[in-house]
């Protein structure tokens, strides 16, 4: 094996991708690259060794152990969403990003002095659906933070409450809540504190449990090239084992870039009540919107 000829930007990018991989994958990749001729004690040493003995960036990205899901996640954190999820496309887009020397999404200054991503200004014509497994990958990143964390606040479920609060939202987040259960009500909340408290009231005070339909007809994901991701989810609402109705939510998400997480930019939530089902099985609801309407 030969010593690395990676640029500093490529070294940083490869290291970031390795940090997104499992420990076992990193150690295995180190063995492959060095042909087990170098013994490492831990993942940190394995990472340094991989970087030191990777000939070029494309060779690294095309390694079988560098899965396309990991590359996609890396690009998403940098505010980049390729036109499709094929690994060849992801590799080319990553190499283009590194060759530009820019490894973070574009930020611009607001008139009031606050920074926010240009993702919030993306035109509908720049949107694209995320295909196949990436729907589930993104929802596997977002929903475990949002719905299970929110549901854990419900005292009737007997679960240990998980960490919930404004830290999951951008400071200027907006919640639009429409409910129809006898009477129609429209509510709007702005700011991480207000939005987190209103959602908390749904589960903690009203003891509702939101159960998403994770089948393809119950979810949709649309991403912009500048980092804004819209996630639509449909599901059922329960209280004490009874189905009370259905809900449909659209989350607007933007990656924090420097952190390995997504934060919510906006939520549009529609709740429609129905007669309690007495515990009977209710068909999983489907989204009422399609990808074009999601734009």
Query: Tokens 């820019």 sit at which residue?
Result: 102
Condensed to tens digits (0 to 9), the pLDDT of residues 41-80 reads 999 999 999 999 998 999 999 999 999 888 888 887 777 7
Residue 294 included in any domain = no
Longest dimension (CA), the chain: 71
Q: Is residue 27 part of a domain?
A: yes
* DSSP secondary structure letters along 227-240: S-EEEEEEEEEEET
Residues 93 and 151 in one domain: no
Residue 283 lies in a domain: no
The top-scoring range by mean pLDDT among 193-197, 238-242, 261-265, 284-288 is 193-197
The whole domain housing 90 covers 8-99
- Count the neighbouring beta carbons within 10 Å of the beta carbon of residue 277: 15
User: Which of 165-174, 232-241, 264-273 comes out lowest in average pLDDT?
Assistant: 232-241
Q: Are residues 149 and 205 in the same domain?
A: yes
Considering the domain architecture, whether residues 255 and 158 belong to the same structural domain is answered as yes
What is the model's pLDDT at position 14? Answer: 94
CA proximity to 230, closest of 196, 254, 257: 254
Q: Is residue 220 part of a domain?
A: yes
Q: Distance (Å, rounded) from C-alpha 161 to C-alpha 158? A: 9
Average pLDDT over every residue of 244-268: 81
Would you say 225 and 80 are in contact if contact means Cβ atoms under 8 Å apart?
yes
**Domain match, 91 and 167 both:** no
CATH code where residue 166 lies: 3.10.450.50
More confident residue, 254 or 18: 18
Question: Above 60 in pLDDT, residue 129?
Answer: no
Residue 118 pLDDT greater than 50, yes or no = no
Question: Would 129 be classed as within a structural domain?
Answer: no
Give the CA dihedral 96, 99, 100, 104, nearest 10 degrees: 80
Helix (H) or strand (E) holding 272: strand 262-273
Q: Give the span between the Cα atoms of 98 and 57, in whole angstroms.
A: 9
Note whether 251 and 146 are same-domain residues. yes
One domain for residues 62 and 179: no
Q: What is the pLDDT of residue 125?
A: 29
Look at residue 6 and tell me whether its pLDDT is greater than 80: yes
- Average pLDDT on 153-169 reads 87
pLDDT of residue 157: 83
Residue after which a domain boundary falls, among 99, 125, 149: 99
**Among 225, 221, 217, 218, CA closest to 124:** 225
The secondary structure of 241-257 as a DSSP string is TEEEEEEEEEEEEEE-S
Torsion, CA 244, CA 250, CA 252, CA 258, rounded to 10: 50
Q: Are 246 and 179 in contact (CB under 8 A)?
A: no
In a domain, 112, yes or no: no
Same domain, 95 and 148: no
pLDDT of 97 over the 60 cut: yes
**Where is the domain boundary, 99, 126, 153?**
99
Q: Does 162 lie in the same domain as 56?
A: no
> Do 91 and 151 reside in the same domain of the chain?
no
Q: Do 271 and 146 share a structural domain?
A: yes
* Residue 102 pLDDT level (bands cut at 50, 70, 90): low
CA 215 to chain centre: 17
How many CB atoms sit inside 10 A of residue 139's CB? Answer: 21
Q: Give the residue, 124 or 241, on which the prediction is more confident.
A: 241
Structural domain count, the chain: 2
Whether residue 176 lies inside any domain: the answer is yes
Number of CB atoms found within 10 A of residue 232's CB: 21
Integer angstrom CA distances of residue 125 from 37, 75, 225: 51, 20, 10
Residue 48 lies in a domain: yes
């Amino acid at each position: 094996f030969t010593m690395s000829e990676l640029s500093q930007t490529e070294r940083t990018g490869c290291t970031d991708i390795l940090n997104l991989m499992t420990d076992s994958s990193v150690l295995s990749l180190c063995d492959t690259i060095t042909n087990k001729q170098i013994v490492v004690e831990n993942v940190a040493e394995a990472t340094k060794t991989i970087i030191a003995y990777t000939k070029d960036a494309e060779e690294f990205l095309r390694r079988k152990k560098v899965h396309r899901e990991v590359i996609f996640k890396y690009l998403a954190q940098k505010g980049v969403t390729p036109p499709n999820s094929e690994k060849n496309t992801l590799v080319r887009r990553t190499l283009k990003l590194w060759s530009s020397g820019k490894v973070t999404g574009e930020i611009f200054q607001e008139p009031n002095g606050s920074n926010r991503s240009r993702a919030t200004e993306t035109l509908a014509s720049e949107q694209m659906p995320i295909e196949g497994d990436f729907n589930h990958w993104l929802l596997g990143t977002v929903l475990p933070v949002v719905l299970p964390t929110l549901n854990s606040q419900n005292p009737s479920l007997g679960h240990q409450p998980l960490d919930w609060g404004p830290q999951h939202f951008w400071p200027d987040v907006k919640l639009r809540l429409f409910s129809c259960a006898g009477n129609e009500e429209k509510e709007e909340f702005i700011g991480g504190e207000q939005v987190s408290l209103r959602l908390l009231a749904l589960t903690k005070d009203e003891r509702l449990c939101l159960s998403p339909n994770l089948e393809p007809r119950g979810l949709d994901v649309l991403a912009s090239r500048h980092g804004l991701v819209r996630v639509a989810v449909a599901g059922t609402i329960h209280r004490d084992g009874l189905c009370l109705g259905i809900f449909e939510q659209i989350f607007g998400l933007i990656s924090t870039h420097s952190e390995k997480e997504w934060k919510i930019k906006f939520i549009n939530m529609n709740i429609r009540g129905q007669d309690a089902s007495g515990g009977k099985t209710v068909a999983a609801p489907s989204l009422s919107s399609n990808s074009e309407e999601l734009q």
